[in-house]
Amino acid sequence: MTGETIGVAVIGTGFGQKIHIPGFQIHHRTGVVAVYHRDAEKAKAIATQHQIPHGCSSIEELLALPEVDAVSVATPPFLRKEMAIAALQAGKHVLLEKPTALTVEEAREIEAVAQQQQKVVGLDFEFRFVPAWQQLKAKLTEGYVGTPRLIKVDWMVPGRADPQRAWSWYARKDQGGGALGAFASHTFDYLAWLFGPVQRLSANLATAIPQRPDPQTGEMKPVDADDTCTLMLEMQDGTPCQVTISSVTYGGRGHWVEVYGDRGTLILGSDNLKDYVHGFKLWGAPAGEALAELPIPATLEFPQTYDDGRLAPFVRVVDHWVNCIDQERAIAPAIAEGIYSQLLMDLAHASHERGIWMSVKPL
């Protein structure tokens, strides 16, 4: 379908409405032709608001539309397997939000159907598409730090620090809620992208705010999903990696990746607590020298940015996905990368529950 407009149906109207719908509408090769919400009136209202031809309250109705060539799935994690498999079985290409599903077994089920149907399944691991991150990758590849000695990740933000923030599916572990799924799924992906596989890990998952008010009644409801994660990873080459993630830290330092090697240091970071993409810069220092900001090549910069920083890298994800659909070639990050991130998440849960280090077997 090279050159043709790809008709996309969006399933999931939280993040889907904030990022997926505008992202597909911005990209010159995609158009949003349908949106799904289980409530028919809300589906129609969202469709009208965004000038989308069809607002559907039935997945079967949505997938039967002849204009639908592909589907983006931006639902909460507990619904992703069902929605992704339905779309693939209907012959549609799929773009999945992360985490891929609830468990690695569910993610593998999606992969099996994708292979059977020979459809492209992309994952929205958008940090791979952010200019400063791409420059970090380039510097690591050229050997700027030499042999890594320590990797350190801090991702500390206040998004859920207010205990009066309403209860939702995000508060439920069994529905895929929590900081591990929302943040560490990204971290596990970019660590593998930047440094290669993990050979073992240890995790402690904490819930600082154990209850939140019901949005309808105001009654306090229990929270069993984590809001703070501390992880130790040992990379395949033996490099130690320390990860601290929290969504409940007032005045948190933002999102930082530090790499210390025998030839130098690289530090990537943003202290922007209002936007998870805007603000990243890269600093470096050869061994024994002071840190200095490193320029980002113009070739890596976004051609256009938006008020919501997540939108520009999402449009790049869409562009890569569209190119792979056109060329009928493998995509990365794909379902395989989603499975790997999901595997590390599952092992983190197991490590926390059992209080032990968990070995990571190759996929």
Hey, where are the domains in the chain?
6-126+311-333, 127-301+342-359
SS (H, E, C) 126-160: HHHHCHHHHHHHHHHHCCCCCCEEEEEEEEECCCC
pLDDT, tens digit (0-9, with 9 covering 90-100), for 14-28? 999 999 999 999 999
Amino acid (1-letter code) at residue 297:
P
Main-chain dihedrals φ then ψ at residue 181, nearest 5 degrees: -70, -40
Q: What is the mean pLDDT of residues 137-155?
A: 99
Q: Is-contact 191 151, C-beta < 8 A?
A: yes
Cα 345 from Cα 111, distance rounded (Å): 18
The yes-or-no verdict on residue 256 having pLDDT over 70 is yes
Mean pLDDT taken over the chain:
97
Cα 68 from Cα 8, distance rounded (Å): 6
For the entire predicted model, the pTM comes to 0.97
Confidence of residue 1 (pLDDT cuts 50, 70, 90): low
- The first and second tokens of residue 294, run together, are 């490193």
Give the number of other CB atoms < 10 A from CB of residue 273: 18
Report the CATH fold assignment for 127-301+342-359: Dihydrodipicolinate Reductase; domain 2 (3.30.360)
- The first and second tokens of residue 205, run together, are 């998952």
pLDDT, tens digit (0-9, with 9 covering 90-100), for 150-163? 999 999 999 999 99
Q: Is-contact 148 195, C-beta < 8 A?
A: yes
Sign of the dihedral through C-alpha 56, 323, 104, 313: negative
Beta bridge partners of 240: 234
Report the CATH fold assignment for 6-126+311-333: Rossmann fold (3.40.50)
- CB burial of 27-50 (b: ≥16 within 10 Å; e: otherwise) equals bebbbbbbbbbeeeeebbebbeeb
Confirm whether 6-126+311-333 and 127-301+342-359 share one CATH topology. Answer: no
The yes-or-no verdict on residue 67 having pLDDT over 70 is yes
- pLDDT for the residue 363: 82
Give the number of other CB atoms < 10 A from CB of residue 298: 7
